[in-house]
Amino acid sequence: MTIQTIATTPFAGQRPGTSGLRKKVTEFQQPGYLENFVEAIFLTLGDFQGRTLVLGGDGRYFNRNAIQTILRMAAAHGVGRVLVGRGGILSTPAVSCVIRKRAALGGIVLSASHNPGGPDGDFGIKYNIDNGGPAPEKITEAIYAHTQTLTSYRISDAGPVDLDRIGSIRIEDMEVEVIDSVTDYAELMAGLFDFDAIRALFARGFTMRFDGMSAVSGPYAKAIIEGMLGAPAGTVVNFEPLEDFGGHHPDPNPVNAAELIALMDGPDAPDFGAASDGDGDRNMIVGRKLAVSPSDSLAIIAANASAAPGYRDGIKGIARSMPTSQAADRVAAALGVSCFETPTGWKYFGNLLDAGLATLCGEESYGTGSAHIREKDGVWAVLFWLNLIAASGKSVNEIVQEHWARFGRNYYSRHDYEAVDAAAANAMMEALRGKLASLAGQTFGDYRVQLADDFTYTDPVDQSIATRQGVRIVMTDGSRIVLRLSGTGTEGATVRLYLERYEADPARHNLDTQAALAPLIAIAEQVSELKVRTGREQPSVIT
């Protein structure tokens, strides 16, 4: 084996987005494309001598190829040891778990999360730091800067590693340890939740359907829910990670998990339904004829946190992304704890968690998590709901209705306009920003604008500032319209429109969500000129 220095030239557009670099597989397959970005990571991090790196991905197409390349490059850069999941599989929450448990310097996660997979699909790569969370902007910007100036990368000419056999092998002076993908994560879950109570729940005949969506959470759900908790065989479906996710879009929402929704709406529905996404960090909770809003799920978990042993002493605070509904704010107020509003992106929660200011975090995009790791965690959220059901003896629907009766309901929806012409989307946002100063005080139907701004966040821990994080139009009654461009797509631009209205009256807690939000939808269109500027009459997806 020898270490080679390969001449290269920069590729344009390798700036990481909300959660790493995401592009089409065909872009990553260009000679030197992946290598350049990985080289930039190693150059940014500096001395890896004797340190441990965690490596794994969601099993999508190109995952195994990328792992072999990264292992050879890690060896060339003097990494002491790499822990890689068997078969190249590690969910994003599991990577965070292993980094923290094994005191690793960091980890490389190979995933495009909920984006489609396969040869014509998407691929992604991101770096997680030593707390287990996504690299902050100062690191991702340094990585990007290196991608613009590269002239070479270093790589060993070693042969491929057998990723399917647990054990150790050496590349150059580096140890590669193939580990069981599930063990460390399952051990952590067993310490947070009352597995005895959940086992008893299943033993009494409780029924469930967990849809792994042919993605990475399947092996974790199969091992924990069926293996450790005793749920009947067949409870977990689509549990084998496939390179193309079975041709489906691995995003756990009512549109993409239509089969699960149909089951839960039908006459033979099980007691509880759940799903997770491509890399295992998102979740959808479903009762009978009820898909629970992710914003409500966060609020309900917060309100009932002490039901789980790992949170029996209560929570220190809640953090939510700005577009996420204010349902959690009401719970925080009732509990007497802080609620932090951050930009979209899990990296913004890291400082709050590390400083002990927050225990629970959530994003409206089906992401919920806690201080147990530094990523959102799909299986964790499902286990929390199972623990809550076991402890309360109530159904999902009863838990949700009782929560609304106590706190009121925040009607909430997100409208996604996908693959919009990027120039048109950016022009729309700039035009909207130009109107903000004049919107406050204006009246639209029954609504009067109290605040209109482009969200700016000052981190309470390190005082770092993030600007232009989404346009907010807030009404005097607290109703909100939010518009922002997503940083997770790979084609054109995705415009996200978020709508929220609070309803205190229990008699009005079961309205159709889109009907309840219709006046705000009309105002959003009027102010943003979204349809005219994007050429789209309807959203691509409504959740």
- Given 91, 111, 113, 214, the catalytic residue: 113
**Long-range Cβ pairs for the range 27-30 (8 Å, 24+):** 28/62, 28/66, 28/123, 29/62
**Entry field: residues in the chain:** 543
Is the Cβ–Cβ distance between 454 and 468 less than 8 Å? yes
Say whether 374 sits in a helix, a strand or coil: coil
Residue 4, both tokens: 């080679």
Contact of 110 with 95, CB cutoff 8 Å: no
CA 476/CA 472 separation, integer angstroms:
13
**113 classed as catalytic:** yes
Please tell me the distance from the alpha carbon of residue 13 to that of residue 15, in angstroms, as a whole number: 6
Q: How far apart are CA 367 and CA 280, in angstroms?
A: 10
CA distances from 274 to 74, 282, 471 (A): 37, 10, 32
Report the alpha-carbon distance of residue 486 to residue 17 in Å, rounded. Answer: 9
Dist CA 23 CA 488 (whole Å): 9
Cα(326)–Cα(514) distance, integer angstroms: 18
Tokens of 253: 């929402």
β-sheet bridge partners, residue 273? 209, 286
Burial class, 456, CB count within 10 angstroms (exposed 0-12 / middle 13-18 / buried 19+): exposed
Contact present, 178 and 167 (Cβ < 8 Å): yes
Residues near 205 by beta carbon (within 8 Å), at least 6 away in sequence: none
**Structure tokens, 269:** 């529905």
State the residue for tokens 């009732």: 334
Neighbours of 441 (CB within 10 A): 10
Nearest to 520 by CA among 469, 474, 455, 471: 474
Residues identified as active-site: 113
